[in-house]
Amino acid sequence: MLNSFLSIRFLLSQNIVVPLQPLNLHAVMKKFYLLTLLLLSFMSIYAAEGDTIKITFNGTGANVDKPTSAKVTSSVNGAYVTLRSSTTDEEYVYDVYGSTTAGSLTIVGSYKLTLRLNGVDITSGKGAAIDVGCGKRIAVELAEGSVNTLTDYAKGTQKAAFYTTGHPEFSGAGTLNVTGNVKHAISAKEYLQIKKTVGTINVLSAVSDGIHCGKGKEANENNYFQMNGGTLNISNVGGDCIDSDDYGTVLIKGGTLNLTVSADDVDGIKADSTLTILNGDININVTGKGSSGIKTNWLAYIPGGNITVDVTGDGSKGIRAKQQTAKTVNNGGSVTFSDSTDVKITASGASIYDTTGDETKCMGMSIDADLLHTGGSVYILAKGDNAYTYQVKGSESTTIGFRAEYEKETSVAEIPAATGDGTVGIFSVSGTPRSSLQRGINIIKKLGEPASKIIIR
């Protein structure tokens, strides 16, 4: 540096004119851009380290460690922790550790935040295990390899074991186990998203919904449930496994869903508006009466995904598309299958009857409006005397990848020869889908006691 300075002084003292090179504006802007990125990265790292609040549960007590610069006040009563943030421009990270059988974590604020669970186990003795009162984005990180367990108080009035007034986005290769002893297991007042990086989320039980999105009142709030990856297991719930309420939508782009629908008059996946399945593995077992594996209150678009639904509950459906007449999402009730979707539905339950004698049938699909199949594989099997394949109240258009079959155990000796096509135990019916359905039913009604299998196609 000194040599350069002396050289410049010498040139000036000798009145030597040094020609200036043309300014390369592109190169200057490129260097400025790179320096800006470097500065922003440094500021991001510095802010993350400086704005982390650590909460550690240790049985009957809890500790809160936070930097003095953080605009957060804390209140700790035994193992019940309440944190109130007044920031309007900084995203704090809340790192949670430890376990308690009589505690909870409550976070209140008005700016987005990150909640990182590092092997935490919280059972509340008053309300929700975790309650985040923030209407912004809540990044919920499951630390890699961690197992996190949340259980709420069985005699409380809380809406969920894990409740947020904002929109949680789950990520991280850990495990989250949730039990909802009063209402829902996980509930978001707005949307809820499960990202590709998620490990496993287990809803072990809930009095009402496993996962609930929406405020619980009829208003066009644009709520949604979105799953991009990971594994989601839901069982032992008294309500819907997944409920996107308040005209909410459902979007499944990947991951694995294993859902058990054991209660009556509930659904495995319920979209109050549009349901879209692009990819993923979906396995649903419906044992409750009058329930559905997948239900949309408007439209269903299913161009992808591997979907298996086993319906054994009386009066239940594998897929139900309902046409509303008194809501914002009215005039729906249609289902479209296309592209690479692979759907297998088995229905084997019986019908149920209400006090007036009206029948509710068990069937693979029930569609109030139109059915359109342009690609992919859809296979529906109705087993037993009382199950049905599907019904469509509107128009119907299917291609070669769409199949619906009946299967019944019966005595081959009792099969009337005139009804068969010459192949023992196999019957073909032709005509429109509805007439084929009725002819198949008529053949089944002629069959005797169980002995061997026949299939009506």
Q: Same domain for 164 and 209?
A: yes
Q: Please report the beta strands in 166-255, taking only residues with DSSP state E, as ranges in sequence order.
A: 167-171, 175-180, 184-188, 192-194, 200-206, 211-213, 224-227, 231-234, 242-244, 249-252
pLDDT(1) > 80: no
pLDDT for the residue 32 = 54
Domain end, chosen from 382, 405, 428, is at 405
Q: Same domain for 327 and 442?
A: no
pLDDT for the residue 202 = 98
Q: Same domain for 325 and 456?
A: no
For 192-241, the pLDDT digits (tens) are 999 999 999 999 999 999 999 987 556 555 689 999 999 999 999 999 99
Arithmetic mean of pLDDT over the chain: 84
pLDDT(266) > 90: yes
Would residue 18 count as lying in a domain? no
Higher pLDDT among residues 414 and 341, named by residue: 341
Q: Pick left, alpha or beta for residue 376 (phi over 0 → left; psi -120 to 50 → alpha; otherwise beta).
A: left
Would residue 15 count as lying in a domain? no
Q: Same domain for 361 and 434?
A: no
Name the band, by pLDDT with cuts 50, 70 and 90, for residue 35: low
Q: Same domain for 76 and 199?
A: yes
Q: Same domain for 435 and 453?
A: yes
CB 250 within 8 Å of CB 240: no
pLDDT for the residue 215 = 73
pLDDT for the residue 412 = 41
pLDDT for the residue 167 = 93
Name the band, by pLDDT with cuts 50, 70 and 90, for residue 30: low
pLDDT for the residue 218 = 60
pLDDT(444) > 80: no
Name the band, by pLDDT with cuts 50, 70 and 90, for residue 31: low
Coil, strand or helix: which one is 281?
A: strand
214's tokens = 């929406």
pLDDT(311) > 50: yes
Name the band, by pLDDT with cuts 50, 70 and 90, for residue 120: very high
Would residue 159 count as lying in a domain? yes
Residues of the domain holding 190: 52-405
pLDDT for the residue 233 = 98
For 42-85, the pLDDT digits (tens) are 444 443 433 899 999 999 999 999 999 999 999 999 999 999 99
Q: Same domain for 220 and 148?
A: yes
- What is the number of structural domains in the chain? 2
pLDDT(132) > 60: yes
Q: Same domain for 419 and 304?
A: no
Average pLDDT over residues 16-39: 52
Would residue 7 count as lying in a domain? no
For 312-352, the pLDDT digits (tens) are 999 999 999 998 876 667 778 999 999 999 999 999 999 99
Q: Same domain for 300 and 440?
A: no
pLDDT(133) > 90: yes
The predicted model scores a pTM of 0.81
Average pLDDT over residues 102-129: 97
Would residue 66 count as lying in a domain? yes
- Interatomic CA distance for residues 409 and 112, integer angstroms: 59
pLDDT(422) > 60: no
Domain end, chosen from 389, 405, 421, is at 405
Q: Same domain for 433 and 353?
A: no
Q: Same domain for 431 and 282?
A: no
pLDDT(2) > 80: no
Label residue 41 exposed, middle or buried (CB < 10 Å: 0-12, 13-18, 19+).
Answer: exposed
pLDDT(122) > 50: yes
Would residue 5 count as lying in a domain? no
Would residue 2 count as lying in a domain? no
pLDDT for the residue 214 = 85
Average pLDDT over residues 438-448: 45
What percent of the chain clears pLDDT 70, i.e. is strictly above it?
76
Range of weakest confidence among 22-26, 326-330, 398-402, 446-450: 446-450
Would residue 168 count as lying in a domain? yes
pLDDT for the residue 22 = 54
Q: Same domain for 248 and 336?
A: yes
Residue type, 48: A
Higher pLDDT among residues 100 and 48, named by residue: 100
Q: How many helices (H) and strands (E) does the chain have?
A: 3, 42
